[in-house]
Amino acid sequence: DQQVKQNSPSLSVQEGRISILNCDYTNSMFDYFLWYKKYPAEGPTFLISISSIKDKNEDGRFTVFLNKSAKHLSLHIVPSQPGDSAVYFCAARAPQGAQKLVFGQGTRLTINP
Amino acid sequence: DTEVTQTPKHLVMGMTNKKSLKCEQHMGHRAMYWYKQKAKKPPELMFVYSYEKLSINESVPSRFSPECPNSSLLNLHLHALQPEDSALYLCASSPNDYSNQPQHFGDGTRLSIL
């Protein structure tokens, strides 16, 4: 039972353009969502998060959108840079009073010069 | 630079060995976590410690034994592991286990079981 899904295993974007990564979830009780970036041989690095009471959060080039009715969130990166090439994981916090994160399968983003 | 430090970075052990993974953070976080990540898969939660007490055990086999000796340290003791336990083991920490604060991860220990 995969509660958090990233249906695109990979995405290729031109440098300077917008990258849009998508994530769907099934549990309507999830209350906190996060995006992590992972380079090879490193641990996941926190990028941006959003609480379920909001529908948008921005931090520099990164914006996360949450559509609760569709159980969908997306990460927008603009403009995309070569250093953004990595695997991106979305994660959702399970509603059990503790920080139990459920991760999606990840999307490998490649930024082409 | 990661603020969560894991040692060793790599570990190769036989199925009869006993070894330990170590995780350290000095951010004053009171929640610490162990995750297991297989190749091309997402991290999967194993254990959560909150204020040095075990709060979540995700039905992990007893050959994995966590320990939190103080608020900065988290250990994972390994004994009689199986080849399928080969994976990247990630440690993470957060200020606590209930507020909307992200978990911060170390770079992991890559474990190979012969």
Q: What is the pLDDT of residues A57-73, one digit of tens each?
A: 999 999 999 999 999 99
The pLDDT value given to residue A94? 78
What's the pLDDT at A2? 74
Across the interface, whether the CB atoms of A32 and B97 are under 8 A apart is answered: no
Q: Is A35 on the interface with B (CB under 8 A)?
A: no
Q: Model confidence over B29-54: pLDDT tens digits?
A: 999 999 999 998 999 999 999 999 99
Region B101-112 average pLDDT: 95
- Residue A46: list chain B partners with CB under 8 A: 102-105
**Interface with chain B: mutation pick from A99, A100, A105, highest number of B CBs within 10 Å:** A99
Q: Which stretches of chain A score pLDDT less than 50?
A: none
Q: DSSP states of B15-70 as a string?
A: TT-EEEEEEEE-S---EEEEEEE-TTS--EEEEEEETTEEEEE-S--TTEEEEEEE
B47 has a chain A CB within 8 A of its CB: no
Q: Can you list the pairs that A55-62 forms with residues at least 24 positions away whose Cβ atoms lie under 8 Å?
A: A62/A35
